Amino acid sequence: MNTEVATMDNLVGPLAIINKTPLREIRAEHTDRVVRRIVDKQALLRRLDVAAFQSAH
Amino acid sequence: MPGRAGGAAGEAHPLSQFVLKVHGRCDLSCDHCYVYEHADQSWRTKPKIMTPAVALAAARRIAEHAEAWHLTRVRVVLHGGEPLLLGPARMDELISQVRAPIEAVTRLTLMMQTNGVRFNPEMGDVLKRHGVRVGVSLDGDRAANDRHRRFANGAGSYDQVRAALALLRRPEYRELYAGILCTVDVRNSPERVYAALLAERPPQVDFLLPHATWDSPPDRPDGSHTPYADWLSAIHRRWLADGRPMRIRLFDGLYSTAQGGPSGSEQLGADAVDLAVIETDGRYEQADSVKTAYDGAPATGLSVLTHPVDDVSRLRPIAVRQHGLRNLNAVCQSCPVVRQCAGGLYAHRYRTGHGFDNPSVYCPDLRVLIDRTADERSVHHASVKPEEISTADVISQIASGFGDEATIGWLAEQQRSVTRALVSATIDQHGPTSGWAALAEVEAEHPDAVRRVLAHPYVRAWAVGVLRADDPAGMPYLGGLAAAAAVHADVRLETGVRIDRGVVALPTVGTLYWPEAVTAAARITVDRGKLWLTGPGHRTITVDLAQPGTTAAWQPARWITLDGWRVRIEDGDPARDCHGWTPADRLDEHAVGRWRDALTEAWRLIGAELPGYAPALRTGLQVIMPLAPDPAGKQRAATAMDAFGALAATQVGPAELAVLLVHEFQHAKLGALLDLYDLHDRDSDAQLTVGWKPEPRPVEAALQGVYAHAAVADVWRLRARTDPRAADLFAMYHRWTTDAIAALRGTDALTPLGTDFVDRLAATVRSWKS
Ligand code: SF4
């Protein structure tokens, strides 16, 4: 059983592989981690999509 | 003896995790299963299923406990036996019973651990409706899995489990997929097991050491001293070389504990284990893994029907495990890796006559694994160092408030990789398109042309849109990217595109405008400096790129050059509509001229007044996206986290624009950093009171606000001599920033990295006070 505390995620390793792989050869296994962190709802529950500013007048 | 649940061992503790045995039997008979195959045989006397009445009683106990202890979150794991044996209708009813009382008082996270054999769309829909995330057990490739995970008739379960995983990967269920639980058998090839697990594309893998105690030690074939460490290290090296494509809890935990963080697992590290198990009949038990120890080991003699959770938390074996290192045996206490290992899994310490007061029976493996993992990690880092900037450098650069060109350039590079990953994921989700084939073809010969186009900030926004909406209608956008790349590379290309409300974007090259604002399929051809767009009614628009200037049908990209760098005005790409406010329509030359004048003067002001912010802007800002004016004439500006390098704003004067550029780009920098690293617990419910908004803000919004307002405080500090409003404005922004930093430090929502970031930022801000 796992404890509730999550250890920190970090995308740097997966991105380094994607950066040097031609588009056609990028494998879904390698993009999954990026998709989960950037796109999936689970991760986005509390993410800020847009920082918006509007002046008072 | 550890005591059959022992007596009361002191004060009650809050427990936040509960394993519900919703079904007491299993459709597999795995020979390594701790429920049926180990010392404790109590399952034989327990009811087969948990009734809704017991589930409700359990939920009420959990709710009453959560309320009394003010728990902000409770996790319930639906477990068995095999929980899916309950079937969709019963499962639906049971989960409804569980949710209602708990959700009335706290936040509930629901998980399920299953063998997957019976997972089907009907069950998937039930679990999705209730937000249950699913972990599936799979031991590797067919040979590895079917070595143990077999039906009673001896047939293997590999095909059924893989079918379940395939279903979990489908877009409609992807959010349910929590990961794979793999029990280690050192007779299996670690390389093959790793490859098989990776092929299932799990968000996370948990490796479980087989259950063993000092009375029945683990299998160590071939006389090897540390076969489990050797096996796991082989996987660790492959995983590192692969760029850590999935999370592996064991290794992530070791990395984390090496830096003093949590381990995230009961197997390693001294995280408090605040867990109780509730059996099908409502009896409380301890963690299942304790079953390996001796018959009846996990029993507590208490039940949800008669006892509150507090009574369970007082029992000695549960209470002892609340205290991590303090209650460990003397050998572990003096071990050099005790902070990372903490005696391993509790159950693995058992020895008749000594109870659990021993090191783990896996001690030699754990010791070697911990040291070796650290070594392998540093060797790996040393070998890739030239391409990487260290996390500490990035954090300290960004937290200083500015960020030098190398750091921002590196962040921008990471963003481009994110875009590549997401574009490629759209193909995985929706299938290849002609635009994709064309883009990949251009890339094969002219990779720089494709890089230039994929650096367009709105490519990511587009990709996120089609991935999230799960709608392939937007896929022909890729044709526009391919056409733009073909223009840069000066190669011939023909591919499908979509006219989107009258527009076809060729990012970084220009925008085609169809005579009517229709949405329709079209074809584009690029050849020797010319474009042809053929759309509805077989009409064709022809553009000669060699001809300068604008026509009704063609708007070449417009750049504003600012001493040695340039930004583009983006007023065409439909994907730009991601900033929360309506974009301005196509700009005429006068409007662009006004932007040019304002930006040129704003850039001069930044150079003169705020030079510390200039390198980051010059390196990272690519696009200004004009917004439609606010009806009341207010200034508007926005940064979209899915469009690094783009800034959206209404037209303003140069002095205001200079502040907006600095302010908004702070959001972009921090957003890019948060894409990569966890500065805060993404699951935190904390809400912070901040000066700049009347309503409390979640952690990420507060962090973003602090970072941007710190820069605005800096702007007014630096304008102290030139602007009479500066002193008051500086004081206000400075107060907002310092108060919010204190509030952030007061939550437990920051990770160690986040704490470091905030502390560095606080130091920067403090230095301005004088
Ligand atoms: S490596 Fe052995 S002695 Fe050290 S903490 Fe782990 S189990 Fe205890």
User: Using one digit for the tens of pLDDT, what is the confidence trace for B539-594?
Assistant: 999 999 998 889 999 999 999 999 889 999 999 999 999 999 999 999 999 999 99
Same domain, B688 and B582: no
Contacts of B458 in chain A (CB under 8 A): none
Query: B379 falls in which pLDDT band (50, 70, 90)?
Result: confident
- Residue B42 has a pLDDT of 61
- Residue B6 has a pLDDT of 39
Helix, coil or strand: residue B576: helix
Lowest mean pLDDT among B2-6, B156-160, B201-205, B493-497: B2-6
Same domain, B580 and B454: yes
Show the tokens assigned to B78: 């639906």
Show the tokens assigned to B568: 């583009």
Same domain, B475 and B604: yes
In a domain, B128, yes or no: no
User: Phi and psi at residue B695, in whole multiples of 5°?
Assistant: -95, 150
User: Residues B321-348: what's their mean pLDDT?
Assistant: 83
Contacts of B203 in chain A (CB under 8 A): 32-33, 36
- Tell me the per-residue pLDDT of B402-425, one tens digit each, with 9 for 90 and over: 788 889 999 999 999 999 999 999
User: Which DSSP letter does residue B303 get?
Assistant: E
- Nearest Cβ partner of B246 from A10, A32, A54? A32
Q: Burial, B607: exposed, middle or buried (Cβ in 10 Å; 0-12, 13-18, 19+)?
A: middle
Residue A16 Cα, gap to closest chain B Cα (Å): 7
Residue A12 Cα, gap to closest chain B Cα (Å): 6
- Residue B366 has a pLDDT of 95
Between residues A32 and B543, the one the model is more confident about: B543
Asked if A52 and B753 come within 8 Å (Cβ–Cβ), the reply is no
User: Residues B143-168: what's their mean pLDDT?
Assistant: 91
Contacts of A31 in chain B (CB under 8 A): 421-422, 424-425, 428
Same domain, B580 and B697: no
Which of B325, B337, B340 has most ligand 1 atoms within 8 Å of CB, for mutation? Answer: B337
User: Residues B278-306: what's their mean pLDDT?
Assistant: 75
Lowest mean pLDDT among A2-16, B614-628, B636-650, B683-697: A2-16
Distance CA B661, CA B604 (A): 12
Same domain, B415 and B480: yes
User: Residues B690-706: what's their mean pLDDT?
Assistant: 92
Tell me the pTM: 0.79
pLDDT at B96 over 60: yes
Q: What is the dihedral of CA B381, B384, B387, B388, to 10 degrees?
A: -10
User: Residues B72-77: what's their mean pLDDT?
Assistant: 91
Asked if B252 and A7 come within 8 Å (Cβ–Cβ), the reply is yes
Using the mean position of ligand 1's atoms as its centre, give its distance from the Cα of residue B340 in Å.
Answer: 9
User: Residues B309-324: what's their mean pLDDT?
Assistant: 72
- Residue B141 has a pLDDT of 95
Tell me the residue range of the domain where B497 lies: 395-626
Using the mean position of ligand 1's atoms as its centre, give its distance from the Cα of residue B366 in Å.
Answer: 7
Between residues A46 and B548, the one the model is more confident about: B548
Distance CA B662, CA B666 (A): 6
Asked if B245 and A1 come within 8 Å (Cβ–Cβ), the reply is no
pLDDT at B294 over 70: no
Show the tokens assigned to B119: 């997972």
Please tell me the total count of domains within chain B: 3
In a domain, B371, yes or no: no
> Pairing between strand B520-527 and B299-303?
unpaired
User: Residues B666-674: what's their mean pLDDT?
Assistant: 95
Using the mean position of ligand 1's atoms as its centre, give its distance from the Cα of residue B235 in Å.
Answer: 22
Residue minimizing CA distance to atom 3 of ligand 1: B332
Residue A37 Cα, gap to closest chain B Cα (Å): 8
User: Residues B46-54: what's their mean pLDDT?
Assistant: 88
- Nearest Cβ partner of B243 from A6, A13, A39? A13
Residue minimizing CA distance to atom 6 of ligand 1: B343
Query: B362 falls in which pLDDT band (50, 70, 90)?
Result: very high
B241 Cβ contact partners less than 8 Å away, ≥ 6 residues apart: B380
Q: Which of B232-246, B393-407, B529-543 has the highest mean pLDDT?
A: B529-543
Between residues B648 and B390, the one the model is more confident about: B648
- Interface contacts A/B by beta carbons within 8 Å: 234
Using the mean position of ligand 1's atoms as its centre, give its distance from the Cα of residue B390 in Å.
Answer: 31
The rounded mean pLDDT for chain B is 90
pLDDT at A7 over 80: no
Same domain, B612 and B710: no
Asked if B667 and A2 come within 8 Å (Cβ–Cβ), the reply is no
pLDDT at B673 over 90: yes
Same domain, B298 and B424: no
Query: B297 falls in which pLDDT band (50, 70, 90)?
Result: low
- DSSP codes, B257-300: HHTT----SSSSS-----EEEE-TTSEEE--GGGGGTSTTTTEE
Query: B634 falls in which pLDDT band (50, 70, 90)?
Result: very high
Whole-complex ipTM: 0.89
- Nearest Cβ partner of B420 from A11, A18, A36? A18
Percent of chain B with pLDDT over 90: 69
Residue minimizing CA distance to atom 1 of ligand 1: B367
Lowest mean pLDDT among B51-55, B396-400, B489-493, B614-618: B396-400
**Optimal mutation site among B464, B657, B682, interface A, most CBs of chain A within 10 A:** B682
Of the candidates B549, B132, B659, the residue with the CA atom closest to the CA atom of residue A53 = B659
Residues with CB under 6 A from ligand 1: B 331-332, 335, 337-338, 341-344, 359-360, 363, 366-367
pLDDT at A6 over 60: no
In a domain, B729, yes or no: yes
Lowest mean pLDDT among A45-54, B136-145, B155-164, B228-237: A45-54
Between residues B374 and A5, the one the model is more confident about: B374
Query: B7 falls in which pLDDT band (50, 70, 90)?
Result: very low
- Residue B44 has a pLDDT of 64
Residue B133 near residue B177 (C-beta atoms within 8 A): yes
Q: What is the dihedral of CA A31, A32, A34, A37, to 10 degrees?
A: 170
**Optimal mutation site among B113, B197, B201, B700, interface A, most CBs of chain A within 10 A:** B201
- Residue B325 has a pLDDT of 74
User: Residues B763-769: what's their mean pLDDT?
Assistant: 86
Asked if A53 and B289 come within 8 Å (Cβ–Cβ), the reply is no
Nearest residue of chain B to residue A14 (CA atoms): B243
> Pairing between strand B177-183 and B636-640?
unpaired
User: Phi and psi at residue B271, in whole multiples of 5°?
Assistant: -60, 140
In a domain, B43, yes or no: yes
State the closest ligand 1 atom to the C-alpha of B349, by its place in the atom list counted from 1: 7
- Residue A3 has a pLDDT of 43
- DSSP codes, A5-43: PPPPPB-HHHHHHHHTS-GGG--HHHHHHHHHHHT-HHH
Residue B569 near residue B592 (C-beta atoms within 8 A): yes
Q: How does B380-407 read in b/e, with b if 16+ C-beta sit within 10 Å?
A: beeeeeeeebeeeebbebbbebbbbeeb
Query: B327 falls in which pLDDT band (50, 70, 90)?
Result: confident
Residue A10 Cα, gap to closest chain B Cα (Å): 5
Same domain, B614 and B693: no
User: Phi and psi at residue B555, in whole multiples of 5°?
Assistant: -120, 105
- Residue B8 has a pLDDT of 44
In a domain, B529, yes or no: yes
Query: B291 falls in which pLDDT band (50, 70, 90)?
Result: low
Q: Burial, B630: exposed, middle or buried (Cβ in 10 Å; 0-12, 13-18, 19+)?
A: middle
Using the mean position of ligand 1's atoms as its centre, give its distance from the Cα of residue B623 in Å.
Answer: 55
The domain boundary residue, chosen from B595, B626, B657: B626
Same domain, B506 and B589: yes
pLDDT at B1 over 90: no
**Optimal mutation site among B418, B446, B458, B578, interface A, most CBs of chain A within 10 A:** B418
- Residue B108 has a pLDDT of 93
> Pairing between strand B299-303 and B283-285?
antiparallel
State the closest ligand 1 atom to the C-alpha of B338, by its place in the atom list counted from 1: 5
Residue minimizing CA distance to atom 2 of ligand 1: B363
pLDDT at B381 over 70: yes
Contacts of B425 in chain A (CB under 8 A): 28, 31-32, 34-35, 39
In a domain, B67, yes or no: yes
Same domain, B412 and B491: yes
Using the mean position of ligand 1's atoms as its centre, give its distance from the Cα of residue B326 in Å.
Answer: 14
State the closest ligand 1 atom to the C-alpha of B329, by its place in the atom list counted from 1: 8
Lowest mean pLDDT among B224-238, B260-274, B367-381: B260-274
In a domain, B637, yes or no: no
- Residue A2 has a pLDDT of 46
Asked if B287 and A1 come within 8 Å (Cβ–Cβ), the reply is yes
Using the mean position of ligand 1's atoms as its centre, give its distance from the Cα of residue B267 in Å.
Answer: 12
- Residue B741 has a pLDDT of 95
- Residue A4 has a pLDDT of 44
Q: Which of A10-19, B94-103, B318-327, B466-475 has the highest mean pLDDT?
A: B94-103
Residue B313 near residue B276 (C-beta atoms within 8 A): yes
Other Cβ atoms closer than 10 A to B159 = 13
- Residue B419 has a pLDDT of 98
Asked if B422 and A29 come within 8 Å (Cβ–Cβ), the reply is no
Same domain, B478 and B564: yes
Residue A38 Cα, gap to closest chain B Cα (Å): 7
Contacts of A3 in chain B (CB under 8 A): 17, 262-266, 271-274
User: Residues B480-508: what's their mean pLDDT?
Assistant: 98
Between residues B297 and B761, the one the model is more confident about: B761
User: Residues B588-611: what's their mean pLDDT?
Assistant: 95
- Tell me the per-residue pLDDT of B184-199, one tens digit each, with 9 for 90 and over: 999 999 999 999 999 9
Same domain, B597 and B704: no
- Residue B319 has a pLDDT of 61
Distance CA A51, CA B697 (A): 12
In a domain, B196, yes or no: no
Question: Residues B427, B431, B434, B438: is their CA dihedral positive or negative?
Answer: positive
Nearest residue of chain A to residue B274 (CA atoms): A3
Asked if A56 and B240 come within 8 Å (Cβ–Cβ), the reply is no
Using the mean position of ligand 1's atoms as its centre, give its distance from the Cα of residue B356 in Å.
Answer: 13
Using the mean position of ligand 1's atoms as its centre, give its distance from the Cα of residue B225 in Å.
Answer: 15
Query: B266 falls in which pLDDT band (50, 70, 90)?
Result: confident
Query: B317 falls in which pLDDT band (50, 70, 90)?
Result: low
- Nearest Cβ partner of A9 from B247, B664, B684? B247
